[in-house]
Amino acid sequence: MNQHAARPQSSPKPKPGRSAPKAGWRQLAETATSALRRPFAKATRRRTPIVPPDNVAGRAMVLVIAIMTFLSCLTLGAVTLVRDTAATWQTQIAREATIQIKPDENLDIDAALQKAREIAGEFSGVLQATIVDNEATARLLEPWLGTGLDMEELPVPRLVIVTIDPREKPDFESMRARLSQEVPSANLDDHRTWVDRLVAMARTTVTIGLSVLSLMLVATALTVIFATRGAMSGNGHVIEVLHFVGAEAPYIARQFRRHFLLAGMRGAAAGGLAAIIVFVLFSWWSARNVATPEADQASALFGNFAIGMSGYMGVGLIVCVIAILTAATSQFTVISYLKRIET
Amino acid sequence: MIRLENVGLRYGMGPEVLRDISLNIPERSFQFLSGPSGTGKTTLLRLLFMSLKPTRGLITIFGKDRARITREELPHIRRRIGVVFQDFRLLDHLTTYENVALPLRVRGREEASYRNDVTDLLKWVGLGDRMHVLPPVLSGGEKQRAAIARALIEQPRILLADEPTGNVDPQLARRLLRLLIELNRMGTAVVIATHDIGLMDQVDARRLVLSGGRLDVYE
């Protein structure tokens, strides 16, 4: 640097031929030890990142991202469960039709039931037709009429359960026509009214769920943006110094983008993992409480709380999107800040 | 090296802060930029550092018209200009060594390629034994020397110092001044913005005096 300034003193070198035989092993050990320490010393002296470690605002940002990701993933999981359950409802209720035969003084009810079953079985798309016997009929009426029911004394309609192949629905109109000809007292109920109502309800439920999910995702995005800008606001001085020492704008943006991508990923991964744990716990609880009233009610609405591969992939997608959004926000903020300080 | 011709600058629609500034800063020159507080010394330095654009007039920096310098070219030209701020502007989470090495690090240079240069420079400014401490631990004078070292590490052609002795005691101010004079002898042009008359009286150098937005040059 300066010809007139004192040159740095070089380290004193050992004079040759001074090592004694007895100290040879010790010297060798010391040399080996210091040689071993040297790479570790270099390895531990890592360069400090240019972007300062997280301050209070930065840690708050990570926490907020984790919470919003958790809520978004919960919402996604709930919507997935409702959608899958609604699809199951539709499939299950569309799998059966009922032939109802009212009793009559002049009617041999058992023969009528057999005839109705045979007719139903002849149509393609019918997997099987089963007569509901007296004991089963009594069990159906038990919640209303109690036990010990004598079916012979009550004019209770008898049922034939027709199981349908959901892929190939039978011609109900033709079946109805044939039944009215050959078993006049029979009435075919294909549950169409109920199916239509259920489909409408299921679609409405899924639509509401998707709307809630959309709102959740928008709220999450806005929260991530504002939290990131808040965390960035404490780093204005770093951006200025980098700018003044001649760092190019893409370099500055890259440093912050990397920092905030990792921070966003940390928060989002924590939130996503917490949501997955909640689903696993619910699924475990559901499995342990099978056949209890609470489990029956819950499983009627949400199935068995198994969100399936699509749910897990959705969680992964939300985590990635939030991390990318955090990085993109920091990039945009850096570029805006640089434009402001450089007129 | 840097030439200003009838340069004027105003902020927004307000009055001109600087008006009709004509100035030439040659290679290897040494000058003080003085004037009362609020006369525009920092503004003029920001013009020289290309942090501001003039509202009128012509600025030529290293032979290039300031108005034609693109955003992509700015960092490359800026590397030839060293800047020392009154408030030091060291990064508190980086050590003294890392602060001084920062201009080289942002270029993408490997640490091994500049370690010796940074170490030698720190020793030259008297911070050889303070290399691995954080700025909050440094005294005001040490911080200013670290800031000067950071401004010099890329061997700029010109050093702009904004009140470099503003936050230090008179004795240390004299030491810093000698450091800057030594730097000038080694070939770097120096512009020191200061309102300290006592400091200026210690050196026989050109004085650029700002008053009422206008500049008077005293050789």
Q: Does residue A186 share a domain with residue A212?
A: no
Q: Is residue A218 part of a domain?
A: yes
In this predicted structure, the answer to whether residue A127 has a pLDDT above a threshold of 60 is yes
Q: What is the 3-state secondary structure (H, E, C) of A198-242?
A: HHHHHHHHHHHHHHHHHHHHHHHHHHHHHHHHHHHHCCHHHHHHH
Q: Is residue A129 part of a domain?
A: yes
Confidence band, pLDDT 50/70/90 cuts, at residue A27 = low
Q: What is the pLDDT of residues A151-206, one digit of tens each?
A: 667 778 888 999 888 788 888 889 999 988 988 888 998 877 777 787 788 788 88
- The CA distance from A153 to A322, in Å, is 68
| Residue A57 distance to chain B (closest CA, Å) | 16
Q: If residue B208 lies in a helix (H) or strand (E), which one and from where to where?
A: strand B206-211
pTM for this predicted structure: 0.70
| Residue A49 distance to chain B (closest CA, Å) | 8
The partner residue sitting opposite B121, judged by closest CB among A1, A48, A246, is: A1
CATH number of domain containing A166: 3.30.70.100
The partner residue sitting opposite B52, judged by closest CB among A47, A237, A343, is: A343
**Domain total of chain A:** 2
In this predicted structure, the answer to whether residue A67 has a pLDDT above a threshold of 90 is yes
Q: What angle do CA A221, A224, A225 make, to 5 degrees?
A: 85
> Which pLDDT value is given to residue B191?
94
Closest alpha carbon within chain A to B104: A245
Buried b (16+ CB within 10 A) or exposed e, A288-303: eeeeeeebeebeeebb
> How many CA atoms within 13 Å lie on the side-chain side of A67?
10
Q: Does residue A337 share a domain with residue A213?
A: yes
**Record: contact B103-A245, CB cut-off 8 A:** yes
A2 vs B contacts (CB less than 8 Å): 124, 182, 186
Both tokens of residue B158? 């010109």
| Residue B14 distance to chain A (closest CA, Å) | 16
Q: What is the pLDDT of residues B174-206, one digit of tens each?
A: 888 888 898 899 899 999 999 888 888 888 899
B95 vs A contacts (CB less than 8 Å): 48
> Which pLDDT value is given to residue A304?
59
B70 vs A contacts (CB less than 8 Å): none
| Residue B93 distance to chain A (closest CA, Å) | 6
Pick from A235, A237, A245, A339 the residue to mutate for testing the B interface (most B CBs within 10 Å).
Answer: A245
A191: Cβ contacts below 8 Å, ≥ 6 apart = A93, A94, A96, A97, A98
| Helix/strand/coil for A169 | coil
Across the range A97-114, mean pLDDT stands at 87
Q: How many CB pairs under 8 A join A and B?
A: 68
Name the phi and psi angles at A10, rounded to 5.
Answer: -80, 155
Closest alpha carbon within chain B to A341: B51
Q: Does residue A101 share a domain with residue A87?
A: no
**Record: contact B91-A52, CB cut-off 8 A:** yes
In this predicted structure, the answer to whether residue B166 has a pLDDT above a threshold of 70 is yes
Q: What is the 3-state secondary structure (H, E, C) of B141-158?
A: HHHHHHHHHHHHCCCCCE
Of A157, A190, A223, at which residue does a domain stop? A190
ipTM, two decimals:
0.87
Q: Does residue A301 share a domain with residue A211?
A: yes
A341 vs B contacts (CB less than 8 Å): 51
**Record: contact B51-A50, CB cut-off 8 A:** no
Q: Is residue A24 part of a domain?
A: no
- The CA distance from A336 to A333, in Å, is 5
**Record: contact B102-A241, CB cut-off 8 A:** yes
Q: Does residue A265 share a domain with residue A122?
A: no
Q: Does residue A316 share a domain with residue A169?
A: no
Q: Does residue A267 share a domain with residue A219?
A: yes
> How many CA atoms within 13 Å lie on the side-chain side of B172?
15
Both tokens of residue B18? 């600087």
Q: Does residue A334 share a domain with residue A234?
A: yes
Domain borders along chain B are 1-80+156-219, 90-154
> Which pLDDT value is given to residue A15?
31
**Record: contact A238-B91, CB cut-off 8 A:** yes
> Which pLDDT value is given to residue B158?
94
> How many CA atoms within 13 Å lie on the side-chain side of A143?
1
Q: Which one has a higher pLDDT value, B61 or A18?
A: B61
Q: Does residue A76 share a domain with residue A125?
A: no
Q: Which CATH class is domain B1-80+156-219?
A: alpha beta
| Residue B216 distance to chain A (closest CA, Å) | 27
> Which pLDDT value is given to residue B203?
87
Q: What is the pLDDT of residues B44-69, one digit of tens each?
A: 998 998 888 889 999 999 998 988 88
In this predicted structure, the answer to whether residue B95 has a pLDDT above a threshold of 60 is yes
In this predicted structure, the answer to whether residue A43 has a pLDDT above a threshold of 60 is no
Q: Does residue A324 share a domain with residue A232?
A: yes
Q: Does residue A334 share a domain with residue A223?
A: yes
Q: What angle do CA A67, A71, A74 make, to 5 degrees?
A: 140
> Are B121 and B100 within 8 A, CB to CB?
yes
- The CA distance from A234 to A228, in Å, is 10
B111 vs A contacts (CB less than 8 Å): 47
- The CA distance from A162 to A165, in Å, is 10
Range of the domain at A125: 95-190
**Record: contact A48-B79, CB cut-off 8 A:** no
Q: Does residue A227 share a domain with residue A311?
A: yes
